[in-house]
Amino acid sequence: MGTTETGIVSGRLSPAEYDRNFSDLHPSLDEHEALVASDRCYFCYDAPCMTACPTSIDIPLFIRQISTGNPIGSANTIFDQNILGGMCARVCPTETLCEQACVRNTAEHRPVEIGRLQRYATDIAMRDNVQFYERAEPTGKSIAVIGAGPAGLACAHRLAVKGHDVVIYDAREKAGGLNEYGIATYKTVDSFAQKEVDYVLSIGGIEIRNRQMLGRDFSLNDMLSKHDAVFLGLGLAGVNALRAEGETAAGVEDAVDFIAALRQSETKSDIPVGRRVVVLGGGMTAVDAAVQAKLLGAEEVTICYRRGKDNMNASEFEQDLAASKGVTIRHWLQPKRILTRDGKVAGIELDYTALEDGRLVTTGETGVITADHVLKAIGQTFEADDLGAIALQCGRIVVDAEGHTSLERVWAGGDCVLGGEDLTVSAVAMGRDAAESINRALAAATQPVVAVA
Q: Under DSSP, is residue 104 helix (H, G, I), strand (E, B) or coil?
A: helix
pLDDT at 3: 46
Report the CATH fold assignment for 142-237+382-445.
FAD/NAD(P)-binding domain (3.50.50)
Q: How much is the pLDDT for 452? A: 54
* DSSP state, residue 310: G
Sequence-distant (6+) residues with CB within 8 A of 438 are 143, 155, 159, 164, 229, 231, 411
What is the reported pLDDT for 382? 87
Q: Which residues contact 312 (CB under 8 A, 6 or more apart)?
A: 282, 283, 305, 319
Q: What region does 101 belong to: left with phi over 0, alpha with psi -120 to 50, or beta?
A: alpha
How does DSSP assign 343-364, residue by residue?
Answer: TEEEEEEEEEEEEETTEEEEEE
Q: Give the per-residue pLDDT at 346.
A: 96
C-alpha span between 98 and 94 (Å, rounded)? 6
3-state secondary structure of 391: coil
Go through 148-158 and write b for each residue having 16 or more CB atoms within 10 A of its CB, e for each that does not: bbbbbbbbbbb
DSSP 8-69: -EE--S-HHHHHHHTS-SSPPP-HHHHHHHHTT----TT-HHHHHSTT---HHHHHHHHHTT
- 325 vs 295: CA distance, rounded Å: 8
Q: How far apart are CA 177 and CA 235, in angstroms?
A: 8
Question: What's the rounded Cα separation, in Å, for the pair 13 and 336?
Answer: 33
pLDDT at 6: 58
The reply to whether 142-237+382-445 and 240-378 are identical in fold is yes
What element of type H or E holds 158? Answer: helix 150-161
Contact between residue 82 and residue 88 where contact means Cβ atoms under 8 Å apart: yes
Residue-wise pLDDT tens digits, 114-161: 999 999 999 999 999 999 999 999 999 999 999 999 999 999 999 999
Cβ atoms of 245 and 338 closer than 8 Å: yes
Q: At 375, is the secondary structure helix, strand, or coil?
A: strand
CATH architecture of the region 31-127? Orthogonal Bundle (1.10)
Q: Where are the domains of the chain?
A: 31-127, 142-237+382-445, 240-378
DSSP 8-state secondary structure symbol assigned to residue 451: P
pLDDT of residue 370: 96
User: CA 284 → CA 186, 276, 287, distances in Å?
Assistant: 14, 20, 5
Are 318 and 350 contacting, i.e. CB atoms less than 8 angstroms apart?
no
Residues of the chain with pLDDT under 70: 1-7, 447-453
Cα gap 34→56, rounded to integer Å: 22
In this prediction, residue 243 carries a pLDDT of 87
User: Does the domain formed by 240-378 have CATH 3.50.50.60?
Assistant: yes
CA angle 257, 416, 333 (to 5 degrees): 55
Which residues touch 292 (CB under 8 Å, ≥6 apart)?
A: 22, 184, 185, 186, 258, 259, 262
E strand or H helix at 142: strand 142-146
Phi, psi of 348 (to 5 degrees): -140, 130
- Cβ neighbours of residue 33 closer than 8 Å, sequence gap 6 or more: none
Give the pLDDT of residue 1.
Answer: 55
